[in-house]
Structure 1
Amino acid sequence: MSERFRALHRPGEPLLLPNAWDYGSAAVLAGEGFAAVGTTSLGVSAVHGKPDAGGATRDETVALAATMRTLDVMVSVDVEGGFSDDPGEVAELIATLAGLGVAGVNLEDGRADGTLRPIGVHQAIIEAARGQGVFVNARTDTRWLGTGDTLERVRAYGHADGIFVPGLSDLGEIARLVESTPLPVNVLYQPGGPSLAELAGVGVARVSTGSLLYRASLRGALSALRAVRGQDEPDLPSYADITAMLPEPR
């Protein structure tokens, strides 16, 4: 499974990976013919009324992966930072997901307090996850959190299967990132940012939607309700809009 998933990461012909937040959204995306579907930690957190990136949705994430395995689609799971700083515990989690047929995981170094996990710790987490036979997409939140050296982190995570730096929107900067690593590069699609064709042109291998589809679904629900009232269309809620409604991490 992971090798078939790996083969979808072709620089210049990027995998478009839509992100689901529950079984229904995953089934709809699978029905659209996508070869693979990912999950979004923000969507999963919001569905269950828990904070995002706070390590609070381990069980819910595994449960979603278990239901998605019934779909005829490869699955990549956003496991935040692995829900632990202990490589052994992360290895156990990834082994559980691999046993469910999950093809890949997304592991981030950003923490709920706005800091980055120490490089050595995240390297060990990546190594523990890779030992379970899934595609490990190493995400660094240097741009998202505005701290740390992006290229230093990308080089340090070179033993992963892919690299993900959310928050990049400048095409030239994305091209330089692609040139800086032999690993397939994942970019988060942003409305108003580079198009899929432009990202393909600079060698990006994977484009994911993150929380976009979940946020768009909320706008769609409000649009339908406002239409009943004869009101104007709402704006697309931002990531910050959603996280502001969720409980604080404990």
Structure 2
Amino acid sequence: MASPRPSTADKRKTYRALHETGCFVLPNPWDIGSARYLQHAGFKALASTSAGYAFAQGLPDAAVDRDMMLAHLRDLAAETDVPINADYEGGYADDPGEVAANVKLCIDTGVAGLSIEDATMDDSIPLYDFDLALARVRAARAAIDKTNSGVLFTARTEGFIRNRPDIDETVRRLKAFADAGADCLYAPGVRSREHIEAVIKCVAPKPVNILMPANLGFSVRDLEQMGARRISVGGSLARVAWTAVARAAKEMLDPGTFTCFDGTMTNAELNKLFREDAKKRNLS
């Protein structure tokens, strides 16, 4: 008989505990299959990727609407036994009150954590004004507190991936977001040791997420020694899959060969993995 599955409250408690000491990798699946595989591989928590999910729907990043994203998050939370962190983009609203309402909807999906970013998706004004960005963080914090859910809140500042790579402004925003009650801080796009250490130091002892979108020359141990508590990869795993498909498609078209299939996992391996997973979940 299958073991009892952890409750939503259990997963939220586990997720918080992961942020208390050490450093852990938080990989980003883009659908249920990739999420279950990463859980099977041994990762203790997972995070959604807005880009990876968008690509799987044939859409560019940031083109998935709120209700589509909520359905996706609900599926991930329901179909996995490890905590799920939601890449909830900008909260699908500009106004802090609307952000708060949408945060409540996200919590209702069963996620263990969520992030809100300060990007506007408007290239002419890529980041929300400082005061509005801070008000949005405060609104998200208040919304989470009202639910008494224990959901872990990550506040993100996006300057380094929105053509505003200003470390001083990044530090200013992270400090303000930390003071406003963010549990974890995140500045995607910082790549140098100097910048990584600066963002970690400025909000210590609060945990910081570091994005590894490519091989930047740092190992998990390196980042842990710098003080990172959490490492995510964003849409990179999804891009690994898309890159393999693109290379295979190109080879099949020209020169018309199939060496792209050499070394791939077999149907038998995947069937065994997912069959055993289903049995554990008492679904077969």
TM-score interval w.r.t. the shorter chain? 0.7 to 0.9
Q: 3-state DSSP class of the match of 1:143?
A: helix
1:90 aligns with 2:99: yes
- The one-letter code sitting in structure 1 at the alignment partner of 2:139 is A
Equivalent-residue separation in structure 2 for 1:92 and 1:156 (angstroms): 22
Which sections of structure 1, spanning at least 5 residues, go unmatched?
234-250
Aligned to 1:219: 243
1:63 aligns with 2:71: yes
Aligned to 1:199: 223
Q: 1:161 to 1:83 in 2, by over 3 A?
A: same
* Alpha-carbon contact 1:163-1:185 (below 8 Å) kept: yes
Q: 3-state DSSP class of the match of 1:30?
A: helix
- The one-letter code sitting in structure 2 at the alignment partner of 1:191 is A
- The one-letter code sitting in structure 2 at the alignment partner of 1:184 is P
C-alpha deviation, 1:153, in angstroms: 0.9
Equivalent-residue separation in structure 1 for 2:62 and 2:129 (angstroms): 16
Larger radius of gyration: 2
Aligned to 1:241: none
Q: Which has the higher helix share?
A: 2
> Aligned to 2:130, which of 99, 116, 119?
119
> Aligned to 1:142, which of 159, 163, 178?
159
Aligned to 2:17: 7
Aligned to 1:104: 113
Deviation string 1:64-111 (CA, Å, 9 cap, x unpaired) is: 111112211111111110000122322222222222221111111112
> Aligned to 2:198, which of 176, 188, 193?
176
Mean alpha-carbon deviation: is it higher for 72-81 or for 45-54?
A: 45-54
Mean alpha-carbon deviation: is it higher for 92-101 or for 79-88?
A: 92-101
| Equivalent residue pairs, number | 231
Q: 3-state DSSP class of the match of 1:106?
A: strand
Which sections of structure 2, spanning at least 5 residues, go unmatched?
1-8, 261-284
Equivalent-residue separation in structure 2 for 1:202 and 1:84 (angstroms): 34
What TM-score do you get using the length of structure 1 for normalisation?
A: 0.84
1:185 aligns with 2:208: yes
* Alpha-carbon contact 1:189-1:209 (below 8 Å) kept: yes
Aligned to 1:230: 257
Q: 3-state DSSP class of the match of 1:46?
A: helix
| Same amino acid, percent of matched pairs | 33
Equivalent-residue separation in structure 1 for 2:221 and 2:122 (angstroms): 36
- The one-letter code sitting in structure 2 at the alignment partner of 1:178 is I
- The one-letter code sitting in structure 1 at the alignment partner of 2:210 is V
Equivalent-residue separation in structure 1 for 2:65 and 2:54 (angstroms): 6
* Alpha-carbon contact 1:226-1:232 (below 8 Å) kept: no
Q: 1:192 to 1:71 in 2, by over 3 A?
A: closer
Aligned to 2:38: 29
Q: 1:192 to 1:51 in 2, by over 3 A?
A: closer
1:208 aligns with 2:222: no
What TM-score do you get using the length of structure 2 for normalisation?
A: 0.75
Q: 3-state DSSP class of the match of 1:190?
A: coil
The two structures, once aligned, show a CA RMSD in angstroms of 2.1
